[in-house]
Amino acid sequence: MATLTPLFLFLSLLPLFSSASASSKDISILHLHSNRSPFDTITAMAANDEARLSYLSSLAVIPVASGQQITQTANYVLRAKLGSPGQQLLLALDTSSDLSWVPCAGCAGCPAATPFTPSASSSFASADCTAIAAACAPINQTYGSASFLATISKDTLSLANDSIPGFTFACVNSVSGVNSAMPKQGLLGLGRGFNGLPAQTQAQYSGVFSYCLPSFKSYYFSGSLRLGKTGQPKSIRTTPLLKNPRRPSLYYVNLTGISVGKTAVKAAPEWLAFDPASGAGTIVDSGTVITRLVRPLYEAVRDEFRRQVGAVEWSTLGGYDTCFATPTEKESPTVVFHFEGMDLVLPAENTLIHSSATPIACLAMAASPDNVNSVLNVIANLQQQNVRVLIDTVANRVGFARELCN
């Protein structure tokens, strides 16, 4: 099977609304590989999910204030400007990270890209880091197989026509280890901690944002990020947003069950339970590629899926254990996630991925790893594509609505 370059989805800002209190804007997402099958690139991206889940587990033992909110997979980035005058950057979008970070000029070992130059910005300043780290010395961050030192800083962040003065972020000074998977120009944290974008822009956007990730089948492969109350779907169905003090940066929801076709999968309560003591439960995450379910729950879903597909020869491919020769997508059962107060129906494009080399389809889900994350269910970005995901950190709700993300 041919190896394709890793897949990156880029967001270019559309200045649809002017700066205002509780304003709204759409930030479009453009896919760079619209002429390629997603299987090889998704498989390569999903290989980083183990590291991603290891990062999520670190949130259980490292306080949010330490600034350890570093994503492990950069599947989507947004175009932003930092500084005065603004320096354009492509920042990875991550709903499970709080502290944003960018490589700064002079960074030793940073990936090859145009870094942010603090000396060229008239609004750049050191931030009060005492609330973030125990001391104002450079803080140590980890990213997959790499680690880096950064100083807490602040500057003006520009998104479309809006400006966010005094935005707190980490200025990366040096990187060690393997940096090939790092976002070249940094990360924008949309996590729910006090350093995340929602908290820092509470007065401007009221703690509300939504995003719609494009399908790999979309010709234009573009979607949008929307900030603020204005322009959000009015009829969207929602489920309560839960807060887990063990992992306070993450967006937890109450997953009550899963159906395959018309059959409700039998699930023990502990497979779905929200437990603040252990960090168990279900989260919505933009950085993980394929949905991970606690092992017994995944096996129950997988076995029911296989039963309904029928007597076919099952194979493994690229880490997926439920692959089969593609008859037609219509013959595959629909998977439904049942949340408290609403259901999310996954069509075939959110359930299966297809090989570019052979007519093979695979169930795009996997078991959670056998480590501290064995208790965590992750609703990942492949299952969120062509879905408007609304997060309201003030009203404590998460919404899902089908939408063509163009």
> 208 by DSSP, 3-state: which?
strand
H helix runs in 266-312, sequence order: 269-272, 295-309
Burial class (CB in 10 A: 0-12, 13-18, 19+), 88: middle
Burial class (CB in 10 A: 0-12, 13-18, 19+), 53: buried
The catalytic position among 40, 49, 162, 285 is: 285
CA neighbor of 344 nearest in space, from 264, 399, 406: 399
Instruction: Report residue 87: phi and psi, to 5°.
Output: -105, 125
Is 377 in contact with 294 (CB distance < 8 Å)? yes
d(CA 14, CA 79): 10
Specify the amino acid at residue 340.
Answer: E
Asked if 94 is an active-site residue, the reply is yes
The catalytic position among 94, 155, 162, 392 is: 94
Asked if 303 is an active-site residue, the reply is no
Token readout for 154 is 């602040």
H or E element in which residue 147 lies: strand 146-159
Measured in whole angstroms, the distance separating CA 125 from the mean position of its chain's CA atoms is 29
Q: Are strands 146-159 and 76-82 parallel, antiparallel or unpaired?
A: antiparallel
CA atoms within 13 A on the CB side of 159: 27
- Catalytic residue numbers read 94, 285
